[in-house]
Structures are given as structure tokens and as C-alpha cells.
Chains A and B, each alone.
Chain A
């Protein structure tokens, strides 16, 4: 079983829809939770990160972390065709450990927003 599980989709939604992307994880040592966006033939780029549990909002994007359930989510409001990409969740352990720099990624969810 993988440490981080993410439904690869693909997910296809109409423009303007609310998109919900999710990951579950098994390692309770994870403290930092990230969402990366990867366009075709490009490297991943960081969208948002959250430390420990809670919500974080940035424009049309909201990240949620529920450590008790080991479940994280990314919501995209008013989705646009330019949001079409692969979305990867990623996690790392607390700062200070020797494994801090290691990011553990989910499989990625392919999202298509059609006009």
C-alpha cells in the first residue's frame, strides 16, 4: 500500500464548476501538505501548502487538511479551462528531521475543464 493515495481520474468538468480533489495518507508523521499543479510536459509547480490541520484559501483555491482522518482536499471554485492540468498532492514530515526534504507524492489527478 502506498503512503499517499490519490485517485488518478481523469476528471472532466464544465467551466465554472467546483472541483474537489482528494488524497489520503497513512504516515501520521506527515506535517506539511502541499498541492502541486503540473501542465503537460512541464515540471510541477507549488499551488498551496498547509502546515498541520486546517484550511487555507488563496483566490479560487482552498486547501483542507484533516489529520484525524488522514485526508486532504483541494477545492477549485469557478474552474477555468486554464486549470486543466494534473494535480498532485505531496507531503513531508516535520522540519528538522533528516527526511524533511523528501516529498511523498500522490499519483496525481488529471483534470480537464471544458468550455
Chain B
């Protein structure tokens, strides 16, 4: 158990809908990262937050947005869902963030999103 929790575990929804995925980082970790894992694209970085502020952005679609709250939990919002958005969404956390020495990112168990 990495100490990172994600809810829900599974989500089934229809095209055009909007969903929110939630992540709680390990106790004391300030950075949160979101990744998408699909069969064709593999594991891809979406976005990083550090202590409430956006720090790095990957190939995140405009339909997707995220935020990190004062209690450090994070939410990933996916809107106008398409079939191709079906994937595993992972959250990871690390202690500090950019500018530091190497830090391990601890991954949560993921949320499996199925868009029908």
C-alpha cells in the first residue's frame, strides 16, 4: 500500500458526461501528479500540482482540468467525455516537488473509467 488513495475505483458513464476523480496524497506529501494509462498510449503524464499551485503540464486535453485543495487532496475533472477517454487514471504524490533532488513518486491504485 503506497499510502495514496483514489476514489472511486471504478466509474462507468456515458459519452458527453462529466466526472470527478479524487486523490488523497500520502501524509505530508505536497506534490500531486495525475497520469492516464491506456492500452494504445501507455502511461502518460497529465498534470502536476505543488502545494495548491499548478507546476507542470503534459498533454492534458482542454476538456480535462484539475485542482489541489488546501488540505492537499486533488481532483481531476473530465468533461464532455468521449469513448477514447476510457482508461486507468492514476494519481501519484511526492514529498516536495520541482527543484529538489530525486523524489520517488508514489502511485495510488487508480480509477478505472469506462465511457460507453
Query: A residues within 8 Å of B by Cβ?
Result: 32, 41-46, 49, 51, 88, 95-108
Contacts and interface: CB of A to CB of B under 8 A. Distances in A.
B104 A102 contact: no
A18 B43 CA distance: 26
Contact of B98 (A42, A49, A101, A103): A101
B64 to A, nearest CB: 16
A107 B104 CA distance: 20
A44 B110 CA distance: 10
Contacts of A88: 42-43
Contact of A98 (B56, B90, B108, B109): B56
Given A43-B4, A43-B90, A103 B42 contact: no
Interface in B81-109: 90, 92, 94, 97-102, 104-109
B4 A101 contact: no
Contact of B45 (A45, A46, A104): A104
A99 B56 CA distance: 6
A96 B109 contact: no
Contacts of B106: 45-46
B100 A95 contact: yes
B7 interface: no
